[in-house]
Amino acid sequence: MPPHRYVYHLDLDEEKIQGAKYVLLPGDPFRSEAIAEEIAKAYNTKAEKLAWKREYCTYLTEIKDIKVLVTSTGIGGPAASIAIDELAQLGVNTFIRVGTTGAIQPRINIGDVIITSGSVRLDGASTHYAPIEYPAVAHHKVLFALIEAAKNLMNNLKNQFHVGITVSSDTFYPGQERYDSSSKYVLRKFQGMTEEWRKLRALNYEMESSTVLTICSALGLRGGCVTGVIVNRTKEEKITKKGLDLGESNAIKVAIRAMEFLVMKEK
Ligand code: URA
């Protein structure tokens, strides 16, 4: 018997993940536990912590008897790329990023959910997997599952969902044209970018989707992204705890339901 394949950064091996093919990818390691517990409660199953090394915290749980992992990626493309690559090395093939976002269209409210159909690649990590001309697009089956899930849930949640283009940037401050940074300065090449992306009908800023979607497509995997709106940049810059909790929890609900749809279709 060959030894079980081990991946260094995630501190996981094939035996530990028990053949899981599906993963939810929050950014925050503490969110891994919260999501796994929510799944365990909703589907009457267990959540088992498998590993926690640096920003990578992984839980194993089940949806309708199918193994589902929850692995945090940390913030940004380089950290996310390691998580995706190492999970793919272990045989995982379906990836849903679930996180938070800043909206740049005035009609979008805090607590709304954004399903990314494709991302503007303002990151560096994804260019190590595919040239910049290559599109960062969601896999159609994951995208449909996310939309179905949002349709199903959002009526009850009193928020709306939006599907469209996300601007995915390497930095939270200059790369998302934030002036409330330590220097208060944004490089000239980024000045005015939010208005331009808004005019080009992009919906939001976040920091990992371009990496997740590009790597998944390039490696023949299935990727998708759902984020909850925690601030609307056309109105204010301040992120509140209330906004964070609402955006985060709505996105998590949609991501879990989408995962249920995917596993049920493929059972
Ligand atoms: N995450 C981001 O990257 N940007 C925001 O504005 C909010 C969350």
Pick the residue whose CA is nearest to atom 5 on ligand 1.
102
Contact 122, 170 (CB under 8 A): yes
- pLDDT value of residue 193: 98
Q: What is the pTM of this model?
A: 0.97
Is 221 close to ligand 1, i.e. is its CB under 6 Å away? no
pLDDT bracket for residue 154 (50, 70, 90): confident
115 pLDDT above the threshold of 90: yes
What pLDDT shows up at residue 156?
79
Return d(Cα 258, Cα 148) in angstroms, integer.
Answer: 7
Residue 207 CB less than 6 A away from ligand 1: yes
CB neighbour burial string for 220-243, b if at least 16 within 10 angstroms, e if fewer: ebbbbbbbbbbbbbeeeeeeeeeb
Residue bearing the CA closest to ligand 1, atom 8:
101
pLDDT digits (tens, 9 = 90+) for 188-232: 999 999 999 999 999 999 999 999 999 999 999 999 999 999 999
d(CA 91, CA 86): 9
pLDDT computed for residue 1 by the predictor: 64
Q: Kindly report, residue by residue over 120-140, the tens digit of the pLDDT.
A: 999 999 999 999 999 999 999
User: Measured in whole angstroms, how far is the alpha carbon of residue 230 from the centre of its chain?
Assistant: 14
Q: How far apart are CA 82 and CA 119, in angstroms?
A: 19
Q: Is the minimum distance from the CB of 209 to ligand 1 under 6 angstroms?
A: no
Q: Catalytic pick from 86, 177, 248, 260?
A: 86
Confidence of residue 83 (pLDDT cuts 50, 70, 90): very high
Cα gap 9→51, rounded to integer Å: 10
221 is written with which tokens?
């995997």
C-alpha separations of 244 from 54, 107, 113, 175, 234 in Å: 23, 18, 12, 21, 17
Euclidean distance between CA atoms 222 and 236, whole angstroms: 35
- What is the residue-averaged pLDDT of the chain? 97
Alpha-carbon distance of 98 to 256, in angstroms, equals 9
pLDDT digits (tens, 9 = 90+) for 18-50: 999 999 999 999 999 999 999 999 999 999 999
The tens digit of pLDDT for each residue in 246-257 reads 999 999 999 999
What type of residue sits at position 214? T
| pLDDT recorded at residue 186 | 98
The minimum-distance atom of ligand 1 relative to the CA of 178 is 6
Cα–Cα distance between 35 and 25 in angstroms, integer?
10
206 counts as catalytic? no
Q: What is the pLDDT of residues 164-197, one digit of tens each?
A: 999 999 999 999 999 999 999 999 999 999 999 9
What percent of the chain clears pLDDT 70, i.e. is strictly above it?
99
In 3D space, the residue among 149, 97, 114, 148 whose CA is nearest the CA of residue 230 turns out to be 114
User: Which residue intervals of the chain are DSSP H helices?
Assistant: 14-17, 29-42, 77-89, 140-157, 193-199, 209-218, 241-265
